[in-house]
């Protein structure tokens, strides 16, 4: 197992997608949930970090407007799937970042992926041209999207994923959460609690018949799902009620066979 901080989050996402390309050479693109599952399988970092998901659908994507990170590692195709970026692909004019991980930043066991990318994948012709790439027409739209704020953009991206994918990891988890509301769960220290689901908006934790704090939004729950499994509640410290959230997501009724 690699030591903490041995690989950058952006590079971990690249490894996950590059591994899919090599494992399934007949396919030209993969969904965000497939890339997340690949990251879990590769275990380039001991635990999935909260930043991995936004790197997949935002920070690494060459042909959408950047928000802080300007990497050009992924290319988003019509329909919402992703492939690795190739030199010559259309790119948002504000994207100036790296196309692949730097070899010195990548653990040695993944250097063969860089060799494959440089010798094979990068030599293939881009799949689109300036004339027929529908993403180019979205540049102006992207500016309007960011006027709404990052949270609004993420919400729209999540909605698009749910339309495009029949059953993502977070959707499966949310269904199980909804199905078990009212049942009794335990924190790591053995405290008993229940919860209730407020439509698609989020959940309320209850202790001794009393509602606890504020509602935990569905987006926060889904972000926590993408981090799971974790070893202790402190891994969820960025969220409200981490002890109850840990007790919920680490329970076998909610985990299923997903994490």
**Domain around 95:** 9-164
- Among 134-143, 165-174, 190-199, top mean pLDDT goes to 190-199
Shared domain for 64 and 141, answered yes or no, is: yes
Residue 117 lies in a domain: yes
Shared domain for 134 and 182, answered yes or no, is: no
Shared domain for 18 and 146, answered yes or no, is: yes
**pLDDT category of residue 182 using cuts at 50, 70 and 90:** very high
pLDDT tens digits, one per residue of 69-82: 899 999 999 888 99
Residue 3 lies in a domain: no
Shared domain for 48 and 131, answered yes or no, is: yes
Shared domain for 90 and 210, answered yes or no, is: no
Mean pLDDT value of segment 3-9:
67
Residue 1 lies in a domain: no
Q: How many domains does the chain have?
A: 2
In terms of C-beta density within 10 A (0-12 exposed, 13-18 middle, 19 or more buried), how is residue 192 classed? exposed
Shared domain for 186 and 99, answered yes or no, is: no
Out of 56-60, 114-118, 193-197, 224-228, least confident range: 224-228
Residue 2 lies in a domain: no
- Look up residue 135 and give its two tokens: 């993403």
Residue that finishes a domain, picked among 105, 135, 164: 164
Total number of residues shown for the chain: 259
Rounded to 5°, the CA angle 122-1-21 comes to 25
Shared domain for 118 and 153, answered yes or no, is: yes
Mean pLDDT value of segment 237-242:
90
Q: Cα–Cα distance between 19 and 144 in angstroms, integer?
A: 34
Mean pLDDT value of segment 3-24:
86
- With a pLDDT cut of 90, the percent of the chain lying above it is 56
Out of 71-80, 222-231, 241-250, least confident range: 222-231
In terms of C-beta density within 10 A (0-12 exposed, 13-18 middle, 19 or more buried), how is residue 116 classed? middle
Q: What is the pLDDT of residue 148?
A: 53
Query: Which single residue is written with the structure tokens 């090599």?
Result: 22
Residue 4 lies in a domain: no
User: Which backbone phi and psi does 199 adopt, to 5 degrees?
Assistant: 55, -130
| 141, 77, 73, 160 alpha-carbon torsion, rounded to 10° | 60
Q: What is the pLDDT of residue 219?
A: 85
Q: Cα–Cα distance between 53 and 14 in angstroms, integer?
A: 12
Residue 110 lies in a domain: yes
Q: Cα–Cα distance between 184 and 132 in angstroms, integer?
A: 55
Shared domain for 50 and 118, answered yes or no, is: yes
Whether the pTM exceeds 0.85: the reply is no
Mean pLDDT value of segment 149-153:
57
Shared domain for 230 and 130, answered yes or no, is: no
Residue 240 lies in a domain: yes
Contact assessment for residue 109 and residue 19, using Cβ atoms and an 8 Å cutoff = no
Measured between its terminal Cα atoms, the distance across the chain in Å is: 18
Q: Cα–Cα distance between 253 and 259 in angstroms, integer?
A: 11
Shared domain for 144 and 29, answered yes or no, is: yes
Q: How far is CA 71 from the centre of its chain?
A: 16
Shared domain for 31 and 156, answered yes or no, is: yes
Of residues 45 and 68, more confidently modeled:
45
Residue among 40, 99, 68 at smallest CA distance from 259:
40
pLDDT tens digits, one per residue of 158-171: 555 444 444 577 88
User: Which backbone phi and psi does 69 adopt, to 5 degrees?
Assistant: -65, 140
Q: Cα–Cα distance between 178 and 248 in angstroms, integer?
A: 12
- Residue 139, pLDDT above cutoff 80: no
Shared domain for 13 and 120, answered yes or no, is: yes
Of residues 153 and 258, more confidently modeled:
258
Residue that finishes a domain, picked among 112, 147, 164: 164
Q: What is the pLDDT of residue 226?
A: 81
Residue 229 lies in a domain: yes
Residue that finishes a domain, picked among 164, 187, 207: 164
Contact assessment for residue 254 and residue 176, using Cβ atoms and an 8 Å cutoff = yes
ω before 229 within 30° of 0 (cis)?
Answer: yes
């Amino acid at each position: 197992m690699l030591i903490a901080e041995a690989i950058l989050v952006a590079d971990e996402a690249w490894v996950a997608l590059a591994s899919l390309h090599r494992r399934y050479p007949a396919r030209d693109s993969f969904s965000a949930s497939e890339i997340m599952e690949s990251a879990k399988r590769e275990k380039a970092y001991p635990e999935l970090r909260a930043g991995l998901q936004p790197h997949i659908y935002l920070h690494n994507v060459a042909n959408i407007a950047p928000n802080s990170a300007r990497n050009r590692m992924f290319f988003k195709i019509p329909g919402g799937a992703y492939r690795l970026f190739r030199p010559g692909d259309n790119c948002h004019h504000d994207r100036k970042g790296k196309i692949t991980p730097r070899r010195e930043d990548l653990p040695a066991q993944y250097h063969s992926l860089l060799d494959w990318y440089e010798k094979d994948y990068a030599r293939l012709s881009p799949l689109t041209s300036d004339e027929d790439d529908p993403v180019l027409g979205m540049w102006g739209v992207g500016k309007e999207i960011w006027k709404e704020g990052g949270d609004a953009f993420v919400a729209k991206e999540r909605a698009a994923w749910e339309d495009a994918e029949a059953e993502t990891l977070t959707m499966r988890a949310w269904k199980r959460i909804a199905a078990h509301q009212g049942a009794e769960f335990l924190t790591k220290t053995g405290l008993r609690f229940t919860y209730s689901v407020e439509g698609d908006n989020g959940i309320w934790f209850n202790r001794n018949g009393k509602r606890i704090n504020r509602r935990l939004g569905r987006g926060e729950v889904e972000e926590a799902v993408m981090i799971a499994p974790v070893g202790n509640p402190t891994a969820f410290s960025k969220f409200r009620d981490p002890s109850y959230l840990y007790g919920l997501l680490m329970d076998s009724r909610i985990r299923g066979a997903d994490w």
